[in-house]
Amino acid sequence: MPRSIIQSCKRVHFCTRREFLGRSTMAGLATMFPALHNDGLAAAGTSSLVIANRLPLRPRTYDLLPLGSIRPRGWLERQLRIQANGLSGHLGETWPDVGPNSGWLGGTGEAWERGPYYVDGLAALAWTLDDPALKAKAQPFLDWTLDHQRPDGMIGPSSSDDWWPPIVMLKALTQYQEATGDPRVIPVMDRYLRFQLSELPRRPLRDWARFRWQDEVLSVIWLYNRTGSPYLLRLAKLLHDQGYDWVARSSPFPYTQGVTAKFLQLNSNHGLSDQDLATHGVNNGQAIKAGPVWWMVSGSAADRDGALHMIAELNRYHGLPNGMFSCDEHLAGRDPSHGSELCTVVEYMFSLEQSLSITGQAALGDRLELLAFNALPGTFTDDMWAHQYDQEPNQVECSLHRKPWVSDGPESNLYGLSPNFGCCTANFSQGWPKFAASLWMRSSGHGPSRQEGLVATAYAPCEVNTTLGGRSVRVIEETEYPFRGNVRLSVHPEAPLAFPLRLRIPEWASGTLLSVNGRSLPLPQPGSFACIQRTWMPGDRVELSFPLLPRISRWYRDSIAVERGPLVFSYGMGEDWVKLRNQGLTADWEVFPSTPWNYALRIDPDAPEKSIQVTESEIGAAPFGREHAPVRMTVRARELDPWQAEDGAANPLPLSPVTSHEREATLTLIPYAAAKLRITAFPLCED
């Protein structure tokens, strides 16, 4: 795997249809204006509090903990440190779009979405790691936004009146306020949202904001829970009414085949028609939470179940083995040679985190882990100094080719600084830290018989510090999951304390063993939350043992993918890395195969564990790196000569089962993210 090259070089840029929306200039700075409208603002919560929904909002099933409540440990901390030492921590030093001249720092540089995107992820990373250097890099963006509100209440550079970029900045401000209690945030948000409520009737949501309204409703609800100002519920309804109706779009789901650029007529409408935006991958990733978010207002069962329904439809018609749906950058069908945009991965994860909190549906945690442990790390180099715009499950070459993308350009799957388009460069930082911040949630004390409790929604090594019923509680989670199946929890209330502890049991985890202080409990039900209700004593220990047996899943043209726990496995062919150009502190890379890749697997689909040998080893410095992959699988295969590549992309899979008379080979499969060139969906070979 190449390391970053510290050298300066001018950017060679390939413009896409979206770029004109991302460019703007600044005529001057917005003036400072004092925060007014102090009705109830002084009573807002502080950074240490978990604040539940106020009436008449429906309560979340599980409340998110304030940023900083969960600290990563073990391999997860190493992964976040890799991110901090890579592009996330140094992007402003090598990429002008978020550099010192950013419009979101008062300069004349890029003034649309990239500053907000960057600080949204950087702030999450900085306060999750409690890293002073990262906080110092995020703080100027936050300070400028808070200290330069316009006289009318608008936030952001004066060169833009688009509603979309402030939606992202509101996300950053809410998590920053939770972590720090900064008293500027709530008055600035209040003044901006009052301005927006007065302005929307004559200047309604359009383009990206119209399709991403649900992200702003989250911030509106966040502020309502702290101030109780009734106008915020009116604003939420107006945003919903002006926004695109994603729940209605999904019933029935209209896009049952991959769309094409010709079908979308991208050249004539600049990619901004309703059809273009409704099939846009990132919009769909963000929209997965639209139903649950609106359910908090509407109470409609269709809204509450909207996330699960939308995921099922996207998976049915566009699903890929890495947990994603195809979107390069519009919905592209089920061929695993099609890709998924990195922005979609991190936005999909954020939607799952929010939807799981709202609905408490365990299946959303399964999907979240699938993305976090496969698609997210699978689109970066091991050092996180370079990323792809599009990743493919069957990715046999990363080069300047035009196949198979629906509407993206030839840089789409290069590893680099900002291949194809820079939105992902600005936006990717939120993936890992927001996942870490969502590992644990609080079950609220709604109703006469319910107590506040803790909920493990996903698993990774960490420590959580919070309060339940006004008493401090610390839980230390020791695990090498997803590479191993054991999870050990050490519970430390400040004094004996009765509360429920809920643990998500994945759907695949039949036969999970659960014990408290060495005493076995009844087998928990897969696809649910196991609940342990007891008076917890300092030092109590809970142990989970998930059975990690190999299994197969079926995909495009009856192909198979190999899974173990939440990990998907791929054949990592030989990789030949060729530097295309230097990019300041990093570089852009093409990757070419150096070994054959066209194999069909010889696996018994009814008993895959009998056909697969599993080997475990130590987790290396780069948890998802190829060199020290902590889990490997050995399988039998035969080469399949008719299955070839064209213009850098694997041709469609032959329909399984297939016949091959080539000599049998033994393949080693490694975790999806460890293989930068890979085959993940295989033909099944008949004996």
Query: What DSSP string describes 657-684?
Result: SB---SPEEEEEEEEGGG-SSBB-SBPB
pLDDT, tens only, 298-350? 999 999 999 999 999 999 999 999 999 999 999 999 999 999 999 999 999 99
pLDDT, tens only, 517-543? 999 999 999 999 999 999 999 999 999
Q: What percent of the chain has pLDDT over 70?
A: 92
Do strands 528-536 and 540-545 pair parallel, antiparallel, or not at all (unpaired)?
A: unpaired
464 pLDDT more than 70: yes
Q: What does the block give as tokens for 253?
A: 């789901």
> CA 100, 103, 104 angle in degrees (round to 5)?
85
| Confidence bin at 261 (pLDDT 50/70/90) | confident
How many other CB atoms sit within 10 Å of the CB of residue 106? Answer: 20
Residue 615: its H or E element: strand 613-616
Give the per-residue pLDDT at 445.
64
Q: What does the block give as tokens for 665?
A: 């080979």
Instruction: Pick the range with the lowest mean pLDDT from 36-45, 227-236, 300-309, 433-442.
Output: 36-45
Interval 101-105 mean pLDDT: 98
End-to-end CA distance of the chain, in Å?
Answer: 36
Give the per-residue pLDDT at 638.
97
> Helix (H, G, I), strand (E, B), or coil: what is residue 5?
coil
Look at the alpha carbons of 19, 20, 25, 29 in this order and tell me if their dihedral is positive or negative. negative
How many other CB atoms sit within 10 Å of the CB of residue 316? Answer: 12
How many other CB atoms sit within 10 Å of the CB of residue 406? Answer: 24
| Confidence bin at 447 (pLDDT 50/70/90) | low
Can you point out the beta strands (E) in 369-435?
Answer: 390-391
Interval 500-505 mean pLDDT: 98
Higher local confidence (pLDDT), 445 or 581: 581
Interval 456-477 mean pLDDT: 97
Place of tokens 């329904």: 309
- Strand ranges across the sheet with 62-64: 62-64, 440-443, 453-456, 497-505, 528-536
37 pLDDT more than 70: no
Higher local confidence (pLDDT), 269 or 304: 304
Asked if the bond preceding 201 is cis, omega within 30° of 0, the reply is no
13 pLDDT more than 70: no
Q: What percent of the chain has pLDDT over 90?
A: 88
Query: What DSSP string describes 455-517?
Result: EE-S--SEEEEEEETTEEEEEEEEE-TTTSSEEEEEEEESS-EEEEEEEEE-TT-TT-EEEET
Give the contacts of 512 (CB within 8 A, at least 6 positions apart).
505, 523, 524, 526, 544, 545, 546, 547
Q: Give the DSSP letter of residue 591.
A: E
pLDDT, tens only, 148-161? 999 999 999 999 99
Q: What does the block give as tokens for 157?
A: 């550079």
Give CA–CA dist 661/283, Å, rounded: 46
Distance of CA 605 to the CA centre of its chain: 31
| Confidence bin at 444 (pLDDT 50/70/90) | confident
Higher local confidence (pLDDT), 22 or 414: 414
DSSP lists the bridge partners of residue 615 as 632
Give the per-residue pLDDT at 271.
77
43 pLDDT more than 50: no
List C-alpha distances in Å: 350 to 218, 357, 367, 505. 12, 11, 12, 21
Can you point out the beta strands (E) in 495-605?
Answer: 497-505, 513-516, 519-520, 528-536, 540-545, 550-554, 560-564, 567-571, 575-583, 586-593, 599-602
pLDDT, tens only, 189-222? 999 999 999 999 999 999 999 999 999 999 999 9
List C-alpha distances in Å: 396 to 624, 628, 662. 19, 22, 21
How many other CB atoms sit within 10 Å of the CB of residue 547? Answer: 12
| Confidence bin at 48 (pLDDT 50/70/90) | low
Interval 243-264 mean pLDDT: 94
25 pLDDT more than 60: no
Give the per-residue pLDDT at 22.
35
| Confidence bin at 268 (pLDDT 50/70/90) | confident
Interval 254-267 mean pLDDT: 90
Q: Mean pLDDT for the chain? A: 92
Rounded to 5 degrees, what are φ and ψ at 444? -80, 165
Asked if 49 contacts 157 with a C-beta cutoff of 8 angstroms, the reply is no
> Helix (H, G, I), strand (E, B), or coil: what is residue 611?
coil
Give the per-residue pLDDT at 450.
67
For the CA atoms of the chain, what is the radius of gyration?
Answer: 24
432 pLDDT more than 90: yes
Higher local confidence (pLDDT), 50 or 46: 50
| Confidence bin at 262 (pLDDT 50/70/90) | confident
Query: What DSSP string describes 142-186?
Result: HHHHHH---TTS--S-TT---SHHHHHHHHHHHHHHHHH--TTHH
Q: What does the block give as tokens for 271?
A: 């990619």
Give CA–CA dist 167/113, Å, rounded: 9
Interval 395-409 mean pLDDT: 95
Sorted by where each starts, the structural domains of the chain and their CATH numbers stand as 19-437 (1.50.10.10), 447-479+486-545 (2.60.40)
Instruction: Pick the range with the lowest mean pLDDT from 23-27, 126-130, 303-307, 462-466.
Output: 23-27
